[in-house]
Amino acid sequence: MSVAIRVEHLSKKYILKHQASEPYVALRDVITGAFRKSGSINESGNAKKEEFYALKDVSFEIQQGERIGIIGRNGAGKSTLLKILSRITEVTEGRVSIKGRVASLLEVGTGFHPELTGRENIFLNGSILGMSKSEIQRKFDEIVAFAEVEKFLDTAVKRYSSGMYVRLAFAVAAHLEPEILVVDEVLAVGDAEFQKKCLGKMKDVANSGRTILFVSHNMAAIQNLCSKAIYLNKGKLEMMGEREQVIATYLRSTADVNVIDLADRKDRNGNGAFRFINFSLKDNEGHQLSSFQSGKAAKICINIQRYTAEPLRNIHIAMGIDDEMGQRITNLNNDTTASVFPDMTGQKGTIEISIPRLPLRHGLYSFTLYGTVNNDVADWINNAGTFHVEHGDFFGTGKLIPDGQGNFYIDHQFKLL
C-alpha cells in the first residue's frame, strides 16, 4: 500500500493585528482615543502584531485507501489542515506531499461561481479537479440524480438554497472519481436523509480504494465511516491511530469542560434580539453543581441578555441534547411543555429548565441552544457546552444499565400475571 498523503512538520502561522488604525477618523475615535491604553500600539502608531499558530509541527502519513476521521474541539486546526491539503491555503513551515487528485467539500459552494447555472458549475468544478469534458459528461447524469436538482439545473446557483448548494457540491466532488476525497462538517447543512445518503456514497468511494479525510463532531459518523482517526488539539497532533482509541482519548480530554462563557462565542446565528450569556448546573435546592447524577433532580440555568429597546415577547427556547457520539437523543422545548414565558422587560433574565428526576445514564453530554422571539431566530449556538452525568441509583436497587444498552433510565415495573 502506497502513501497517499505525507505531512512533515507542518505549521501554519497567521499574523493578528490589534487595534489597527481605521481608514477614517470619526468624532467618537477622537474622544475614545484619549482614553485608550497605548500598550497595543507601538510608537509609530502601527497596530501591534501577534503571531498565532493554527497548526504547529504536525506530522503524519495516510496510506492509499484509508478512511481517516479528523476530530477535535472548535479551533483545534481541523479546517485549516483540510484547506492546506486541498491547496487552498499555503503552509508556513514544513512539507506536504499528496499523491493523486483531491476533491474537496469544505464549505457550502466551495469552487462554485454564483452567476453560473448548476449545469455550468458541474463542468467548471470538474475541470478544476482536472477532469476532461468526456469524463464529466460520463458522470453528469449520476451527479444530477444524486443531487436531486434536475428541475433547477439551468438556474444560477446563487438562487439555490444552502441545501441545494451542498447537495450539488457533494455530488460533483464524490462522483468525479478523485483519488482523495476531503469533506468537512458541511454535510450538517443537509437533512438527515441526505446525510445518510452522503455517508453511503463515501463508503462506496472508500470501498473503491480511494482515500477519505472526514472532519466531524459526530463520533457516530466517524465510527460508521472511518477506520482510523486523527485528534487535533490547539493546533497540535495529540493522537493518530485506531478510531476507538482516538475517540476515547478525545472524549476523556473534554470531560472536565462543563461551564462555558457563551457571551464570547463568535460561531452563533440569529438577529441578536437576545443572546445566551452563560449557563450553570444546579440541584433542586439551587446549589451549583459540577455534574449531574442519574435519578436526582436537576436544573439547567441559562442566562440571557436583551439587546432591543422594546420588551421581548413570545420567547421560545429549545435545548437539544447529544450523547458522546454526537447523536441527538432528546430536545427540551418550552412549547412542548406548554410553558409560556412572560414578556422580558429587564436587560437580563434566567431561563430555568427543571428535570424532576434525571433519566440520563452515566456519560458526557453536549447541547445546542436555540431561541426565537416572535418566531424569528434571536440566538442559535451549536455545541454550546457540555455537562457530565455521574452514576446514580435510579431504581434504588444498586443496579445500573449495562454499557452499550442505551442512554436512558425509564421508570417501570415488571409483573407476572
Local confidence band at 334 (pLDDT 50, 70, 90 cut-offs):
very high
pLDDT of the residue at 254: 54
CA 403 to chain centre: 27
Q: Coil, strand, or helix at residue 325?
A: coil
Residues 6+ apart with CB under 8 A from 249: 231, 238, 239
Distances in Å between the alpha carbon of 66 and those of 9, 87, 133, 254, 391?
21, 20, 29, 27, 38
**Cα–Cα–Cα angle for 273, 303, 336, rounded to 5 degrees:** 80
Amino acid 320: pLDDT: 95
169 touches 112 (CB < 8 A)? yes
Q: What is the pLDDT of residue 42?
A: 55
Q: What average pLDDT does range 329-333 have in this prediction?
A: 95
pLDDT tens digits, 238-292: 999 998 888 877 766 654 445 568 998 888 999 999 999 999 888 887 877 777 8
Q: How many CB atoms lie within 10 A of CB 217?
A: 19
Mean pLDDT on 302-325: 93
What percent helix, strand, coil does the chain show, rounded to 5?
25, 35, 40
Render pLDDT for 123-134 as a digit per residue (tens, 0 to 9).
988 887 777 889
**Close Cβ partners of 142 (under 8 Å, ≥ 6 residues apart):** 171, 175
From 111, 117, 89, 127, select the one nearest 12 (Cα to Cα): 89
Q: In this model, does residue 210 exceed pLDDT 90?
A: no
Q: 3-state DSSP call for residue 301?
A: strand
CA 250 – CA 217 distance, rounded (Å) = 11
- Span 152-193, pLDDT tens digits: 999 998 898 877 888 888 888 778 777 888 888 766 555 667
C-alpha cell at 358: 434525571
Buried b (16+ CB within 10 A) or exposed e, 220-236: ebbeebbebbbbbbebe
Lowest mean pLDDT among 5-14, 52-61, 207-216, 309-318: 207-216
User: Are 365 and 324 spatial neighbours (Cβ–Cβ below 8 Å)?
Assistant: yes
Quote the mean pLDDT of the chain.
84
Q: Tell me, what's the pLDDT at 370?
A: 96
Coil, strand or helix at 143: helix
pLDDT digits (tens, 9 = 90+) for 94-135: 999 999 888 777 765 566 888 999 999 999 888 877 778 898
pLDDT of residue 61 exceeding 90: yes
Give the alpha-carbon dihedral of 156, 161, 167, 172, to 10 degrees: 20
Residue 344's contacts (CB-CB under 8 Å, 6 or more residues apart) are: 274, 304, 306, 311, 312, 315
Point out which residues pair with 403 in neighbouring strands: none
Q: What per-residue confidence (pLDDT) applies to 169?
A: 83
Q: For the residues 397-415, what does the mean pLDDT come to?
A: 84
pTM of the model: 0.59
Read off the pLDDT of residues 353-398 as tens digits, 9 standing for 90 and up: 999 999 999 888 999 999 999 999 999 999 898 888 877 888 877 6
**Model pLDDT, residue 93:** 94
